[in-house]
Amino acid sequence: MRKAYIDSIGMYVPSNVVTNKDLESRMDTSDEWIRERSGIQERHHVDGECTTDLALKASEEALEKAGMKPEDVDHIIFSTMASDYFAPGGGPMMTRRLGIPGTPALDIRMACSGFLYGLSVSKAFIESGAYENILLITSEVQSVALDFSTAGRDTAVLFGDGAAATVIKATDADQGILTVKTHSDGRYAEDLMLRTPSTLDNPFLTHEVLDKGYGRVSMNGRTVFKHAVTKFPQVINEALEASGVAKADIKLVVPHQANLRITEAVANRLDLELHKVVFSNIHKYGNTTSASIPIALYEAMAEGKIERGDYVVVASFGAGFTWGASVIKW
């Protein structure tokens, strides 16, 4: 049966490294607090680059690794919470950046679950026979919407900028994306959001709206934490059951890198076979929203932790709330 498999991944983070010490000079925080609560040591922030700049670098690497030219891409899926423009989205912009005008492009705004939703759509597109080569781009610039004063410290220290691009192709071989399970629950929309520009305000961008802080990411950290540690294990088990793959056969679990305490709490709630193999690289990048899972996959491959034929689980939780998990035979 025709399947969708991950052929290659490219990644890019801006060269500007922001350490916890750097943040100490901008707000009342400490390296110790940030490490203890989140496991983050440093993150990368843009310095003059925009979302599609990051996306282009990651895409070029992914295409080169796949032995493809931009013209070989027959559909773009673009996930971000911060496009170059509020409208149009980043997908059409990437056809311009890659020099492939006319290529279909779909935007996804599913926050930290953007990669999971992107896998879900890619799998359906490819298995139906509609497309052969999909470029799933996850590119995030959150630093421009963070409040770096002490008032915003609980959120600003967590996020980093970064991008990944994943080439997903059709195959008849015994490999690929076996299952994807996704969920959403808008009852918690306000617990993690970027409110403005919003149609709740008319006109939607005024000085008054911005003065209220609506142009900054806001978060109820404890509520996010509580739901994340419940939903991650639930959806991982759901995806595993649907795939029929035994837990003992899973080589690596790659959760969205939200923060180390969430990853550890999730690992503790998983059965032992899975607990042993949970991957983390949050200390280097912070939370890069929808880019975090493919960046982690990229690094896990580079470290030899994933090889062809291995069973891998990826899972996410984030704003919406949205969450999901996938089982992949690499």
8 A C-beta contact, residue 100 and residue 144 = no
Which residues are CB-neighbours of 284 under 8 A, at least 6 positions away?
41, 42, 43
For ligand UT7, what does the binding mask look like between residues 93 and 112, x meaning CB under 6 A?
Answer: -------------------x
Residue 318 C-beta: closest distance to ligand UT7, Å: 4
75 is catalytic: no
256 is catalytic: yes
Report strand pairing: 250-255 vs 217-219. Answer: unpaired
50 is catalytic: no
8 A C-beta contact, residue 282 and residue 38 = yes
225 binds ligand UT7 (CB under 6 A): yes
Identify which of 135, 20, 9, 21 has the alpha carbon closest to the alpha carbon of residue 70: 135
- Characterize 249-274 residue by residue with b for buried, 16 or more Cβ atoms within 10 angstroms of its Cβ, and e for exposed: ebebbbbbbbbbbbbebbbebbeeeb
Q: Which of 318, 321, 322, 323 binds ligand UT7 (CB under 6 A)?
A: 318
Instruction: Kindly determine how many residues on this chain lie close enough to bind ligand UT7 according to the rule CB under 6 A.
Output: 21
**Which CB atom, from 96 or from 222, has the smaller least distance to ligand UT7?**
222
Q: Which of 3, 44, 123, 153 binds ligand UT7 (CB under 6 A)?
A: 153
Report strand pairing: 311-318 vs 250-255. Answer: parallel
120 binds ligand UT7 (CB under 6 A): no
Please report how the helices 221-243 and 260-269 are oriented relative to each other, as an axis angle in degrees rounded to 10.
40
Element (H, E) at 136: strand 133-140
**Active-site hit among 20, 112, 237, 259:** 112
For ligand UT7, what does the binding mask look like between residues 241 and 260, x meaning CB under 6 A?
Answer: -----------------xx-
Binding-site ranges for ligand UT7 (CB under 6 A): 29, 33-34, 37-38, 112, 153-154, 157-158, 219, 221-222, 224-225, 258-259, 261-262, 287, 318
The residues assigned a catalytic role are 112, 256, 287
